[in-house]
Amino acid sequence: MPLMPSRTKYRKSQRRRNRGNAKGGDTLAFGDFGIQALGRGLLTASQIEAARVAINRYLSRRGKVWIRVFPHKPITKKPAETRQGKGKGAVEFWAANIKPGTVLFELSGVSITAAREAMRLADGKLPITCRFIHKDL
């Protein structure tokens, strides 16, 4: 089951500019380790899920993982080779708008080397550049 809102006020939304840095969600709140976005862009629900699976596979049920981003934004597309007009396309997938500084995943209950490797594997699944961060233990 992909990540998506259970219900929304409107089915479709307009694409907005993604300027500036993260206003909130830019520090570790739950875990001891995390990955923080350095770039900006859209993270699709399937990309978030792929990163989560990569972390959990590597850790094999050790530690606790928090997903700090959620895909609230519906992205629409018109079918290929369709004439202009006839309204806005159908919702193709759901995405999260990511700004620089946003913490994407958090992790606790494992060693720093295991956390660093798990986050490196997750970073490989994401389209934006990220860095490993940790609390001063």
Give the Cα separation of 59 and 63 in Å (integer): 7
Give every CB contact of residue 50 below 8 A, 6+ residues apart in sequence.
Answer: 125
Averaged pLDDT of the chain:
94
According to the model, what pLDDT value does residue 20 have? 95
pLDDT of residue 88 exceeding 90: yes
Note the pLDDT tens digit of each residue in 27-42: 999 999 999 999 999 9
Closest of 36, 1, 3 to residue 135, by C-alpha: 36
Residues 33-79+88-134: name the CATH superfamily: Ribosomal protein L16/L10 (3.90.1170.10)
Domain-wise residue ranges, the chain = 33-79+88-134
Q: Which amino acid is at 32?
A: D
Q: Please, are residues 96 and 72 in contact by the beta-carbon 8 Å criterion?
A: yes
pTM, rounded to two decimals = 0.92
pLDDT of residue 1 exceeding 80: no
Rounded mean pLDDT, 36-65: 95
